[in-house]
Structure 1
Amino acid sequence: MASRLRLRQLRLLIALDEYGSLHKAAEQVSITQPGATKALNDIEATLGVALFERSPKGLAANDLGRCAIRYARLIHTDLAHLREEMLGILQGEGGRLAVGCIMGGVPMLLRALTRLRARQPALAVEIIEDTSARLLPLVDQGRLDLAICRSSVSRRPDDYTELSLHREHLRVVAHPAHPLAASTTLDLAALGDATWVVYPANMPMRLLLEREFREAGLEFPRYPIETASTFSTLLLLEQDPNLVALMPSDVAQYALRHGLLCELPLRLHSATEPYSALTRRGAQLSAPAQLLLEELHPR
C-alpha cells in the first residue's frame, strides 16, 4: 500500500472531502478530471474498498472514505511540519516543537515557552493538553517531541526517559459564592454530597481523590463531572456555585488571584505523584525540545 499510494492521490482525497466534486477537486490539485477519476479509482483499487458514494450531486465520503481522508490529512500535516523543522535546522533557529502537557504542568510549560520564544521567535509551537494516558501514545508515535506527564500510567513505564522532575500541590476550589466559601475549617464529609469536577478515571489526581474519600470512610461522589480540560473545569466552577474541584495549585492560582474561584480549607492527607518531562527511551531530542528542556529549569 505504501509503495502504491502517491502524495497527489492523498491531496485528491482531501480536496474531494472539501469540495464534494471531482471537477473542483481536480482543479485544486492541478490535474485533469479524467486524471482525477483514474487517481480515485487507483486509490480505491489499492485499498480494496469504495471510499465515496456517487450521486448526481457529487461525491460523499462513506465511513471508510472518512477514515482514509483523516489519515491523508495527518500525512499532509506531517509533511508541512517536516518542512518547518528542516527550515529551522538549515537556518540555525526556529523550527517546530510539539509538546504535550497534563493540566498541572500547563502554567510551568507556558512560562518556559515564553522564555524560549524570546530566544527563538520564529519557532512554531503545538501544545496538546490531555491526560498522561492519552499523551504517551503520541510520544510513542513521534507526534510529540516530549510530554510533561506521568509515565506510571503506562503498562511499560520503562519505555520512557524522564528528563526532569516536578512536584505538584493540589487545592480544593469552588466558586466564591459556594455555600462553604466562608468556612475556616472543613473535613471531607462536609463535601461528601457535593458535585465534584474530577479528572478521568484511573488518572493520578482522580486516584488521589478516591483514596481521600476511601480513607475517610466515605463513598466517592456518584455523579461527578469528568474532564481533563483546564478551561472546562474553570468555566464549570465559574458558572455553578455548588460545584467543587481538586485542582493543581499553579492552575488554581490564576483564578484565585483574579477572584474567579476561592480555595476551600480542606487539608488533603495524600501526597501527589511527581510528573516529568519525558520522551521515548532512546529517542534523540530535537534542538527546540532541548532548548525547552533548558527553560523548564531556568538558572
Structure 2
Amino acid sequence: MRPTLRQLEYIVAVAETGQVGLAAAQLNVSQPSLSAQLAEVEADLGVTLFQRGRAGAKITPVGEEIVRRARQILHELQDLRAAAQGGGIFQGRLRLGVPSSIGPYLLPGVVQRLHKEHPSFRLIVREESTHELDEGLRSGRLDMIISSPEDHPGARRSHLFTESLWAAVALDHPLAHDRPHMALSDLNAQTLLTLGAGHRLSHIVAGLAARAGGRVSDEYEGTSLDAIRLMAATGAGIAILPSIYAATEARRGTEVRLYPLDDPAASRDLALIQPQLPEPRPGSEVLADILRSEAQRLLNSDGA
C-alpha cells in the first residue's frame, strides 16, 4: 500500500525541517534516497507536496493537508503500539505545546515526576502563543497542548485548574501599601502591562481594563512574564500576572509588591487539550492528573 508508513515519515520530516538534507540526516538516510521517495509519493498521489529550491523545501497548500493526515496516521500507529504494550502515551514520545505564561513554572516538577515514574517517556515541550498552539494542534505538529479551552473549539478538553490573577506594582507606586487584595476599581486610570496580543492572557487583561476604566499599555507588550514584572518595577504600569507565576517567580524578587485581584473575572482556566478523536489517547488522563497535582502543589505552596 502506498504511500508507505516510512514514506509518511519522510514527508513529515521534510515538512518539519524545511530541508531535504536535514530531514535525511534526521532519519539517517541519504539525501538522494529521500528525494527519490518524495518524488515517488508525489507521483503516486498526483500532487506536488513541496516546492524545492535553494531556499529549501516549501510545503504547498495541498501538501499541508497531506502532512496533517500523515501525522495523524503515524500518531494512530504509535498509539496502537503503546496500547499493545499497555503504557499508552508513556511508551513513546509526546509533543506538548504550552503558553510561555505557564510552561516554565508548572512543568519542571511535572517533568521530574514523569522521569521518575515513566523513565521511557519522552516529553518534548514547545512554548508558543495561543494562536500557534491552536495551529500546532490542528496540523498535527503538536500532540497535545495546555491552553485556555475557549480558544480551541472542537477539541477534546480535560480541565486542569483555574488560575487567579495578581497585580504587581513598583515599591513606590501609590497603590503599594498594606492591603489583603486589590479591587478592580483600583485599576481605574491605571496603565496595565501584559503579554502580546497572541496570548489569551492579553484578552483577559483587556477586559479587566475596560471594566475598570484603565488602559492596556500600547508602548510595551511583553514577551515574558519576567519582562512585564520588571517593567512594572520601573513604574511603567501595573503588571497582571497569573498566580502560579506569582507563587514561583515573582515572590522570589523584591522589585514589586503583589496583590491578588478581587474580581471574579480576574482568572483564567487551563486545560489539557488534544484532537477530537473517537477516544482520548491512552494515558492522557494520567498526564492530566499529574499536571493538576503539580499545579495544586504550587498554588498551595505560597498562598497564591
Give how far 1:207 is off: 2.7
Give how far 1:109 is off: 4.5
Give how far 1:253 is off: 2.1
**Deviations, residues 123-147 of structure 1 (Å, cap 9, x unaligned):** 0002233344432343334444433
Partner of 1:254: 248
**Deviations, residues 55-81 of structure 1 (Å, cap 9, x unaligned):** xxxxx236xx3336x979999999997
**Deviations, residues 209-247 of structure 1 (Å, cap 9, x unaligned):** 2233222333443323153xxxx3314644873444211
RMSD: 4.8
Size of the alignment, in residue pairs? Answer: 270
In structure 2, which of residues 206, 213, 221 is the aligned counterpart of residue 210 of structure 1? Answer: 206
Partner of 1:100: 97
SS of the aligned residue for 1:247 comes to strand
**Deviations, residues 96-149 of structure 1 (Å, cap 9, x unaligned):** 223233355434444344323321011000223334443234333444443322
Amino acid at match of 1:221: S
8 Å contact from structure 2 (residues 160, 288) kept in 1: no
In structure 2, which of residues 153, 165, 182 is the aligned counterpart of residue 170 of structure 1? Answer: 165
Partner of 1:138: 136
Amino acid at match of 2:187: L
Counterpart Cα distance in 1 of 2:34 and 2:5 = 14
Give how far 1:171 is off: 1.4
In structure 1, which of residues 267, 271, 285 is the aligned counterpart of residue 266 of structure 2? Answer: 271
SS of the aligned residue for 1:152 comes to helix
Give the structure with higher Rg (CA).
1
Give how far 1:279 is off: 3.0
Partner of 2:299: none
Counterpart Cα distance in 2 of 1:38 and 1:255 = 51
Percent of aligned pairs sharing the same letter:
18
SS of the aligned residue for 2:273 comes to strand
Counterpart Cα distance in 1 of 2:123 and 2:21 = 30
Partner of 2:187: 188
Counterpart Cα distance in 1 of 2:81 and 2:4 = 29
8 Å contact from structure 2 (residues 197, 203) kept in 1: no
8 Å contact from structure 2 (residues 162, 270) kept in 1: yes
Partner of 1:66: 58
Partner of 2:279: 284
Counterpart Cα distance in 2 of 1:49 and 1:166 = 41
SS of the aligned residue for 2:267 comes to coil
Which deviates the most, 180-189 or 132-141? 180-189
Counterpart Cα distance in 1 of 2:69 and 2:49 = 20
SS of the aligned residue for 2:240 comes to strand
Instruction: Assess, with a 3 A threshold, how the Cα gap between structure 1 residues 91 and 153 changes in structure 2: closer, same or farther.
Output: closer
Counterpart Cα distance in 2 of 1:169 and 1:83 = 39
Partner of 1:56: none
8 Å contact from structure 1 (residues 103, 251) kept in 2: no
Instruction: Assess, with a 3 A threshold, how the Cα gap between structure 1 residues 288 and 99 changes in structure 2: closer, same or farther.
Output: farther
Instruction: Assess, with a 3 A threshold, how the Cα gap between structure 1 residues 237 and 274 changes in structure 2: closer, same or farther.
Output: closer
Instruction: Assess, with a 3 A threshold, how the Cα gap between structure 1 residues 4 and 274 changes in structure 2: closer, same or farther.
Output: closer
Unaligned runs of 5+ in 1: 54-59
Which deviates the most, 247-256 or 38-47? 38-47
Partner of 2:302: none
8 Å contact from structure 1 (residues 172, 247) kept in 2: yes
8 Å contact from structure 1 (residues 181, 264) kept in 2: no
SS of the aligned residue for 1:99 comes to strand
Partner of 1:234: 226
Partner of 1:57: none
Counterpart Cα distance in 2 of 1:5 and 1:109 = 33
- Give TM-score, length-normalised by structure 1: 0.64
